[in-house]
Chain A
Amino acid sequence: MDDVRMIEVKEEIMADNNQVAAGVRERLRLQKTMLVNLMSSPGSGKTSLILKTAQALKGSIKLGVIEADIESKVDAEKVAAQGIPAVQLRTGGFCHLDATMVTQGLEALDKKDFDLLIIENVGNLVCPAEFDTGAHKNVMILSVPEGDDKPLKYPLMFSICDVLLVNKIDYLSLSDFDMAAMRKIVLALNPEIKIIEISCKTGAGISDWVDWLKKEVTAFRRA
């Protein structure tokens, strides 16, 4: 009978992805390009937000977009139609982007002189939260019709983001969404998070979001 031995492993399971992500972050830091990872459920307004943001940044900040979708390339076409450089990554069934896929996206973009790149992650509040993409900032959208209980159901996502955009506030009067209760739970998970209420439809709050983004990009390029 062989003796059973115990080996101490003591390693983070995500170490590989975390290492690739750290490499992406550093490379982009040297290129002075800030990378933002945008996450949300399907249909909460990621593409609409990117289009609004691109309009607002026109002429001041050079923006590029990396789109991720399980199958289609609808989003990249919409973004590219606005004259914004965009690449589409098809994840081939995967529910999230990892840092290696982001590396491929960066290589697929012809130009390298962006001030800001936004990743539109796969619409999903679960898996993308577990995988560091190499982004400098994580931003998520929760839209009013999804309900105020989402931070209780997907706490990890809310705990890793720098900004929470609460979209579709034009629906608030039709809904029992409790903004104060939602804020309290989110701040418990993540006291540092910045919460901005917006509506891509009416344009409400978009300037607050764009101001935050401009400030961050400026600080990033100076650092």
Chain B
Amino acid sequence: MKSFISKLNIKQKLAAVALLLGIIAIFAGNPYKDAYAKIDTKEIALIIQKELDHITAEELADWIIQGKSDYRLIDLRSEKEFEEYHIPTAENIQLTMLSDYTFLPAEKIILYSEGGIHSAQAWFLLVAKGYRNAYMLKGGLEEWKDKILFPTISQNPSPDEVKHFEKIKEVSKYFGGSPQTGKEENVTIKQTLPKLEMPKQVTPQVGTQKKKKKEGC
């Protein structure tokens, strides 16, 4: 065996190495890793139609007040926006980093962005990767502001609405918001975002987002 190998010249040895690597490749699997995923489009459509894909701002507020810790709240906005304000208990993960991020299989993941579009897209990515407990915050941060931080009540509220507003007012104060009663003098009050009181969250490293360029030779 040894003498056989020594008889080969360098080219033949290299060819043998290439062949060996080629044979191993048959069993080594797919190099594309998790970048590609298969999805059950019907199942996803069903989840969306049944509205099992999102939670409302009020539900989330309740959870935070109750001190629940069985969820992870993901802020998809930029680091700068995150520094300015984020929903308490949120952590900042950018959309591009999300696909490299591994959550526990059964973890409840709640996504939010400024509106609802980015979180919906991120939700799709996570579901495609097999995370079945991913949810979006309905209406995103905008709705959080409208419903929780600066809730309003209509001009002629029904008793039910008044009752609900009384409750929301407490919730709003908890989060440092300022409920708008809808009266004239209140309308002009500037809505200032509350100072962050919760301990600062660890921010994962943020990749720079590049514009798509034309490439190739």
Partners in one complex: no
